[in-house]
Each structure stands twice: as C-alpha cells, then as structure tokens.
Amino acid sequence: MALVYGVEKKTVPAYMKYAMGGTSGMLATCLVQPMDLLKTRMQISGTLGAREYRSSFEVLSKVFKNEGVLSLYNGLSAGLMKQATYTTARMGVYQMELDWYRMNYENDPSLVASMTMGIVAGAFGAMFGNPAEVALVRMMSDNRLMPEDRRNYKNVGDAFVKIVKDEGVVALWRGCLPTVGRAMVVNMVQLASYSLMKNHLRGYIDEGIPLHLSAAMMSGLLSSLASMPLDLAKTRIQQMRMIEGKPEYSGAIDVLKKVVKNEGAFAMWKGFTPYLIRMGPHTILSFVFLEQMNKAYNKHVLGDSQSDSSEP
C-alpha cells in the first residue's frame, strides 16, 4: 500500500507481489491436488461414451484400486507450473491494481471497482497459465484411457515438448477462451468477495487468521458456484481428441449444449463436490499463505511492525 490516507509508507516491490502470489498458490496446490484430480475425472466422465463414475467416492475408490494412491498426484508438476504462471500473474496484477486504486482514491475500492479489477487480473493470469492448464488436464485424465490412447507425459516439460511437436504451439492455448472466461468469473467473484467480506467482517472479527479464513470460505463457495460450468467446458475442450479429422467440440457453448442435451442441465455442475472441496481449501490456503507472507515481509524487510498484512 503506497499511501494510507495521505501518509506515505514503504511498499512491497512489484516483483515480490508476483512472487508471493505464485508461491501461495503453489503451496496450496500441494495440499489440494487430489481433489483437483477427482474433479477433472468427474467432469470428463461420459466422454468415452458411457458414464464412468456415479460419484466422487466411486472415482476415489477406482483410482485407489486401479492406479494406486500416488496417482492422486498425477499432474502435480503441471499443477505447480499453473500456479507459478496463472496465480503469480493474477495475484500480482490484482494487488498492484489495489495499490493503484488506494493511492489515487485514498479509500478501499467499491464493489464494481473490485469486480472490474478481478476480471482484469483473471484474464491476464489465464492467458499466462493456459499451457500448464492443458498439460494438467491431460496428465490427470491419462490413466483412464486405454494404454494405446495414453499420451504418457512424464512431466509438464515433457508435455509441452510433445504437444508442440505433435499438435503445434497453438495447441498450448487450446480452450483459452473458456479458460479466460472462467478465470474472469472466478476472480471477479473470488478476489472481490474476499476483499469485501474481509472489510465487512472486520467489524466483528479482529485482523488475523480467523478473519482471513472466514472471508476466504465465503469467497471459495461463491466462486465455485459461479465458475463451475465454464470450468467443465474448459476441461472437456482441453482433453478432447479429433474425431474423423474434426475436433469433438467447436467451443465452450457447444460443450455446454451437448452436456445439457446428453447428460442433463445439472451435469454442468458435475464434480461440484470435489471442485468445492478443492477450490474452497485452495482459496483459503492461498489467501492465508499470502497474508502471512505479506505480514512477514512488512515486518522483517520493511520494518513495518504495525502492518498485519498487505491486503489482497
């Protein structure tokens, strides 16, 4: 924060905002990766012509039985790369937007301003993170395919090389439009609701981890409900194959139309339980880690012991 009601303060450098944003996302991903795998498997259930899973528990039991416990972390390298690109960009951009707003208006942003800043931050993050997102979805869904159909990526670097070699550079941005759309919705709701809930709850809860947890829990629930259909469309597009020389889907709208027609309207929220279980803790952990890193930087580097956090 550059100014506090006209009083100049030391600020966290821009590069540290990006670094702490990405690091917070990577730490959270290490803990919630299994939920992301369950969510992805649920979302692509039915794309092979039959309904593979009836519930998240069935996914979990089949993964344990057929693939082993460690397979819950399939795609972890891609998940970490996604956070290093997507979360680094979105958190860094959003915090810089907040600092700019407070420096120019000397006040907390309004609801409309917070939502607008979240949309911009989400779009930037999604464009940077899309290649890792493509690799992540494919790596998490690979074991469900027949051996001859598997891509067998060793890690995210191997995935990038093989995708570029076999499909071209553009394939790294397959599904970019629904990815950007989902990210804009997620960030519009997640970042804006977190800031607003945190400001509102300050009247009831003292600054600290309980406040951050409470605001992040509400933010995770709201963003999960709003973004799930676009997340499903993104997942289906990124792992689709060519059928008789033509792509399985022409775009996000085509995915959602086919899902509603063939699987029912509620299928747009298929995998919601693991999605919420994944996004909720990921949102909470990301914000808590970020708050604590900001607090530590302000205290130990800037020497600002009065500042509890640099609010995201």
Residue 5: what pLDDT?
A: 42
Q: How many helices (H) and strands (E) does the chain have?
A: 10, 4
Tell me the average pLDDT across 285-299: 84
Domain spans of the chain? Answer: 17-289
In CATH, 17-289 is 1.50.40.10 = yes
List all residues 6 or more positions away from 45 whose beta carbon is below 8 Å from its beta carbon: 51, 52, 53, 59, 270, 271
- pLDDT at res. 1: 41
pTM above 0.75, yes or no: no
3-state secondary structure 247-270: ECCCCHHHHHHHHHHHHCHHHHHC
Token pair of 64 as six digits: 């344990």
Q: How does the average pLDDT of the chain come out, rounded?
A: 82
pLDDT number for residue 307: 52
251: which 2 tokens?
A: 């775009």
Most confident of 11-25, 65-79, 205-219, 243-257: 65-79
Task: Answer positive or negative: Cα dihedral of 122, 127, 129, 134.
Answer: positive
Above 80 in pLDDT, residue 97? yes
Of 46-50, 109-113, 174-178, minimum mean pLDDT range: 46-50
Is residue 50 predicted with pLDDT exceeding 70? no
At 148-188, the pLDDT tens digits run 888 889 899 999 999 999 999 999 998 888 888 888 888 78
**Distance between CA atoms of residues 286 and 289, nearest Å:** 5
Structure tokens at 45: 């259930």
* Alpha carbons within 13 A on the beta-carbon side of 260: 8
Query: In which band, very low, low, confident or very high, does the pLDDT at 9 lie, cut at 50, 70 and 90?
Result: low
